[in-house]
């Protein structure tokens, strides 16, 4: 059985996006610094399922190759879906993509759509994504979805790519978590260029 993993780039002060994020300002004011590491090295990393490619350090490329190779399905929230303009219909990873929303968009409710819209709660989203992923992992991409997973005891691991920037405001990752503390174990730390990848296991 695969794991449920949250993967995200984060500022050192805990933001997944800067202030004023939206479809015309994806990562918010100053938030592009979170993804500076995507173009910081000399190793090509084609993003599976898309026509995008990163240029990153060897250390980051080795890590991403391993992690993306284990990816079976993805869950994101409606804000990320809208901000990413539905990834032009090609969600990263190329696997089944589940979007949590209260109002599924008509445009993507059609035969052959790469998206499944989930309206009946986080347990249902994780159950459906796990079934689609088979033995592979389910990747969580949005802050609010990760928070719901942690509260429901559904998240296994957290993989943060920490960017060397202090954003000072924006979308905080680890809000709304309810009862604290939540204990973590560090699995590994990988130093890239303009990024430090830290992989944690949630102690249950």
Ligand X SMILES: NC(=O)c1ccc[n+]([C@@H]2O[C@H](COP(=O)([O-])OP(=O)(O)OC[C@H]3O[C@@H](n4cnc5c(N)ncnc54)[C@H](OP(=O)(O)O)[C@@H]3O)[C@@H](O)[C@H]2O)c1
Residues interacting with ligand X, by CB under 6 A? Answer: 8-9, 16-17, 21, 26-28, 34, 76-80, 83, 100-103, 119, 121-122, 141-145, 148, 171
Smallest distance from ligand X to CB 118, Å: 7
Q: Which residues contact 69 (CB under 8 A, 6 or more apart)?
A: none
Residue 57 to residue 77: CA distance in whole angstroms: 29
User: Which of residues 32 and 62 has its CB atom nearest to ligand X in the complex?
Assistant: 32
Smallest distance from ligand X to CB 10, Å: 6
Smallest distance from ligand X to CB 144, Å: 3
94 is written with which tokens? 């190329």
User: Which of residues 133 and 140 has its CB atom nearest to ligand X in the complex?
Assistant: 140
Residue nearest to ligand X (CB): 77
User: Which of residues 124 and 183 has its CB atom nearest to ligand X in the complex?
Assistant: 124
Cα–chain-centroid distance for residue 74? 8
Cα–chain-centroid distance for residue 152? 18
Smallest distance from ligand X to CB 45, Å: 15
User: Which of residues 133 and 195 has its CB atom nearest to ligand X in the complex?
Assistant: 195
SS3 call for 28: coil
User: Which of residues 79 and 197 has its CB atom nearest to ligand X in the complex?
Assistant: 79
Smallest distance from ligand X to CB 196, Å: 14
Computed from CA positions of residues 55, 12, 183, 76, in that sequence, does the dihedral angle turn out positive or negative? negative
CA proximity to 94, closest of 139, 49, 140: 49
CA proximity to 83, closest of 203, 191, 171, 181: 171
């Amino acid at each position: 059985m695969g794991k449920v993993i949250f993967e995200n780039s984060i500022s050192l002060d805990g933001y997944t996006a800067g202030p004023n994020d939206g479809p015309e300002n994806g990562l918010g004011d100053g938030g592009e610094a979170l993804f500076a590491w995507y173009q910081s090295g000399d190793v090509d990393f084609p993003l599976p399922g898309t026509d995008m490619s990163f240029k990153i350090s060897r250390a980051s490329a080795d890590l991403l190759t391993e992690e993306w190779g284990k990816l079976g399905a993805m869950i994101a929230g409606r804000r990320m879906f809208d901000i990413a303009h539905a990834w032009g219909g090609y969600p990263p990873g190329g696997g089944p993509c589940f979007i949590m929303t209260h109002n599924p968009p008509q445009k993507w409710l059609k035969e052959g759509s790469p998206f499944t819209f989930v309206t009946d709660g986080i347990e249902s989203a994780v159950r459906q994504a796990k079934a689609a992923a088979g033995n592979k992992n389910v990747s969580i991409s949005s802050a609010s979805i990760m928070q719901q997973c942690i509260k429901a005891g559904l998240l296994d691991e957290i993989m943060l790519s920490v960017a060397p920037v202090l954003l000072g405001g924006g979308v905080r990752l680890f809000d709304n978590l309810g009862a604290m503390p939540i204990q973590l174990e560090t699995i590994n730390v990988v130093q890239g260029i303009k990024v430090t990848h830290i992989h944690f296991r949630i102690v249950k």
